């Protein structure tokens, strides 16, 4: 029996050397996740990549040959693949330089820290001379940029959020904008050892804490909360928050001494609430017209929040939308007006229910990681602007006060990610992927990204290689010895890059003369604090518990003494009005929170043609698109399609029944899905999670036969400030699918020649 770590949990396994024969939850996990069932069932699925492949058009006609995404692949030997790849890397770096290479990997590939694909590919490209990088993430791209201006560095805040045990003991009212999603709470980058999203909520509720979940899905909070459900029109949370703030201001319920001592810019914001800047008072009647929440309930809620120890928390989902800065900023302003920031159980939270590490006590030790080296290239893009970069080289754009230009990318090197999951408007992304000379992908499976590559190198799964790992803020540091032999000819990323670096003449710089196992020992020994076991003892055990902080309260030190413990904002205070952001002059993100009408919402003109708001949230049955071919993920599908949830009255109005295969459409594209009727979905809303592997129709790339909602979502930035992702919301119509249901191509390998 061996213990292994995934982003969604720790499991114990039995192996016969070729495959896992049993996968069971780790005995230390009080709330284990069924997602672990995907691991064993996916390992030898027919979509595993068994040997290197090269796209036939690229092989026959050279870099830049058309046909990417349509051509068959040619299976080749490792020697042939690495010779072709090393030659192409030499050509691009010699002819175009490092600014023509995009190292486009994302961070979710591996729970192990040495074989972390992003670290591996970035170290390799740094040895070659550098690469164009991305900044921020699809999950938090908007908040990553906003928060340092108004409250502080986001990742520090996440790591030091008020712990869930403090909330359970002290909070009287939790107002959760975007809910406290139990499925998202189950996942942490790097892994989760112990799930307890239900436990702390149960303890808080038993003590008398009330929960109010604000969002379009009633089940975006665990049942143990017994929460009141408020369901405003999606995308209108900022208007609701502004009205709550207006009531606190108008009825003198705001904590003025707190605002004076700990914040800057409140009066500028208050003038907006009072209607003195635009002639519109942001009162409850105004918000009712926008949100659909009755004005009386809004007024009562403001008084309830002012009369209790209240935690205002905003999920990451709200900032993954057009003008996504506004609900985050307005939520902070609302919490500041209540005056409870820095008090046990009160104040502001960002990300409770969005990932498991939010609200966990800060870990006292980091864990060893594979060093990436130094990137000599300063050029970068916000991560969600990849299609713009590929389609519009040389085009100027603005970001966070900077004036930038998109580079001219000739080669994309991807390891450990699937942009055809994360990105929006996939038909546009497919067009963008046709532009570079060469696309290289390491992956274990034939995902949409590998199917749109030129050189495909088969990578191992975590269960097929030695590693160690721990999740962010998770105390359990786990040895992860390989559980089985690799599938087919798959190699780990380190072995691939070591051989490539040998061919390119910098093996010593990349490997430093170490094998993968020697790196694990070296990194551990270099890191090991006094009192922890030596490497051999660690490797033979089931993991070691690292120290964590005692119960923590976010910004308690700041509240106690703002002069000695200032925030990292420009003023050292909470910035309800930001002079810095205001100086940028962005009309789509002014200097304080405002209501800005989204391009697509149920109160706008586009809803006349597309009257349903689609929520494209994270899935329950997998992490992002990982292991979509696994047994647990497949068990949730309807006729092989991703399920879409719809309120019964919306289904009845369209003549649809549970189990129907439906077509979801808008002007960008369409997809098939299997229909589920559920009154936990707000009327006027449809919910289709991301994660189905993109399966475009051969004659229409905007039509996904499998159910990927990102053929429908817009490749539109949240704002000029952040250039963040807006994939959470879009307008659609749903209709019955007519005719035969087309066969899926993603469940089998692509054609070979």
Q: What is the dihedral of CA 380, 382, 384, 386, to 10 degrees?
A: -20
The catalytic residue positions are 106, 108
Instruction: Answer for the pair 724, 136: CB distance below 8 angstroms, yes or no.
Output: yes
Residues 6 or more apart whose CB falls under 8 angstroms from that of 346 comprise: 170, 171, 309, 310, 311, 338, 340
SS3 call for 559:
helix
Measure Cα distances from 82 to 53, 56, 85, 86, 687 in Å. Answer: 11, 16, 5, 6, 43
CA dist 569 → 150, 591, 629 (Å): 6, 14, 45
**Residue 578 and residue 149 in contact, taking contact as beta carbons nearer than 8 Å:** yes
Burial class (CB in 10 A: 0-12, 13-18, 19+), 270: buried
The closest of 251, 210, 212, 255 to 230, measured between CA atoms, is 212
CB atoms closer than 10 angstroms to residue 551: 14
Can you tell me whether residue 268 is helix, strand or coil? Answer: helix
- Residue 674 near residue 659, CB atoms below 8 Å: yes
For the chain, what is the total number of helices (H) and then of strands (E)?
27, 31
- Token pair belonging to 604: 């706008």
How many angstroms separate the CA atoms of 534 and 414, rounded? Answer: 35
Using DSSP's 3-state secondary structure scheme, residue 661 falls into: strand
- The token pair at 214 is 């604000």
Starting at the earlier edge strand, list the strands of the sheet with 476-480.
467-469, 476-480, 544-545
Q: Do residues 51 and 215 lie in contact, with contact meaning Cβ atoms separated by under 8 Å?
A: no
**Strand ranges (DSSP E) for 485-607?**
544-545, 574-575
């Amino acid at each position: 029996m061996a213990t292994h770590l995934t982003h969604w949990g720790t499991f114990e396994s039995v192996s016969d050397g070729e495959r896992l024969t049993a996968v069971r939850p780790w005995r230390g996990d009080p709330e284990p996740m069924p997602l672990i069932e995907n691991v064993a069932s996916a390992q030898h699925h027919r979509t595993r990549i068994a040997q290197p492949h090269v796209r036939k058009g690229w092989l026959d006609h050279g870099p830049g040959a058309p046909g990417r995404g349509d051509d068959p692949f040619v299976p080749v030997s490792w020697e042939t693949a690495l010779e072709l790849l090393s030659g192409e890397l030499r050509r691009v770096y010699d002819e175009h330089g490092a600014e023509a290479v995009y190292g486009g990997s994302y961070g979710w590939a591996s729970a192990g820290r040495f074989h972390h694909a992003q670290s591996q590919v970035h170290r390799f490209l740094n040895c070659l001379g550098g690469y164009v990088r991305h900044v921020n993430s699809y999950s938090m791209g908007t908040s990553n940029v906003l928060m340092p201006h108004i409250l502080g560095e986001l990742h520090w805040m996440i790591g030091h959020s008020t712990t869930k045990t403090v909330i359970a003991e002290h909070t009287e009212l939790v107002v959760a904008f975007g809910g406290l999603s139990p499925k998202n709470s189950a996942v942490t980058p790097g892994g989760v050892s112990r799930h307890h999203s239900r436990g702390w909520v149960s303890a808080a509720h038993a003590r008398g804490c009330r929960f109010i979940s604000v969002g379009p899905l009633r089940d975006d909070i665990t049942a143990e909360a017994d929460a009141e459900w408020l369901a405003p029109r999606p995308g209108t949370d900022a208007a609701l928050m502004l009205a709550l703030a207006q009531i606190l201001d108008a009825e003198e319920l705001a904590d003025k001494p707190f605002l004076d001592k700990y914040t800057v810019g409140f009066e500028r914001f208050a003038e907006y609430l009072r209607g003195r800047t635009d002639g519109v008072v942001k009162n409850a009647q105004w918000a009712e017209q926008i949100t659909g929440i009755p004005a009386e309930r809004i007024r009562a809620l403001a008084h309830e929040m002012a009369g209790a120890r209240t935690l205002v928390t905003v999920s990451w989902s709200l900032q993954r939308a057009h003008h996504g800065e506004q609900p985050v900023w307005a939520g902070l302003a609302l919490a500041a007006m209540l005056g409870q920031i820095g008090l046990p159980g009160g104040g502001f939270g960002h990300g409770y229910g969005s990932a498991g590490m939010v609200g966990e006590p800060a870990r006292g030790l980091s864990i060893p990681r594979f060093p990436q080296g130094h990137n000599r290239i300063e050029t970068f893009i916000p991560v969600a602007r990849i299609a713009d970069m590929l389609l519009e080289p040389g085009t100027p754009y603005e970001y966070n006060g900077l004036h930038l230009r998109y580079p001219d990318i000739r080669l994309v090197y991807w390891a450990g990610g699937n942009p055809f999951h994360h990105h929006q408007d996939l038909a546009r992304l497919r067009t963008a992927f046709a532009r570079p000379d060469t696309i290289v992908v390491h992956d274990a499976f034939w995902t949409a990204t590998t199917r749109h590559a030129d050189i495909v190198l088969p990578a191992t799964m975590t269960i097929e290689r030695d590693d160690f790992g721990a999740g962010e803020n998770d105390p359990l540091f786990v040895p992860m010895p390989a559980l089985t032999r690799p599938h087919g000819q798959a190699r780990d990323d380190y072995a691939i890059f070591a051989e490539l670096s040998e061919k390119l003449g910098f093996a010593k710089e990349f490997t430093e003369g170490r094998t993968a196992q020697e790196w694990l020992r070296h990194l551990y020994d270099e890191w090991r604090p006094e009192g922890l076991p030596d490497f051999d003892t660690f490797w033979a055990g089931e993991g070691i518990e690292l120290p964590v902080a005692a119960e923590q309260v976010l910004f308690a030190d700041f509240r106690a003494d703002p002069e000695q413990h200032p925030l990292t904002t420009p003023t050292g205070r909470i910035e309800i009005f930001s002079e810095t952001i205001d100086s940028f002059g962005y009309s789509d993100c002014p200097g304080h929170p405002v209501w800005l009408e989204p391009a697509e919402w149920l109160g706008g003109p586009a809803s006349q043609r597309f009257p349903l708001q689609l929520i494209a949230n994270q899935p329950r049955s997998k992490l992002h698109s990982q292991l979509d071919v696994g047994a647990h993920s497949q068990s949730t599908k309807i006729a092989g399609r991703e399920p879409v949830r719809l309120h019964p009255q919306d289904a009845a109005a369209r003549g649809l029944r549970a189990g129907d295969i439906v077509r979801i459409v808008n002007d960008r594209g369409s997809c098939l899905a299997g229909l589920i009727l559920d009154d936990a979905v707000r009327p006027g809303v449809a919910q289709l999670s991301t994660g189905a592997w993109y399966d475009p129709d051969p004659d229409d790339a905007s039509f996904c036969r499998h159910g990927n909602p990102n053929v429908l979502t817009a490749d539109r930035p949240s704002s000029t400030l952040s250039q963040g992702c807006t994939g959470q919301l879009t307008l659609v119509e749903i209709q019955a699918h007519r005719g035969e249901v087309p066969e899926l191509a993603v469940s089998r390998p692509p054609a070979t020649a």
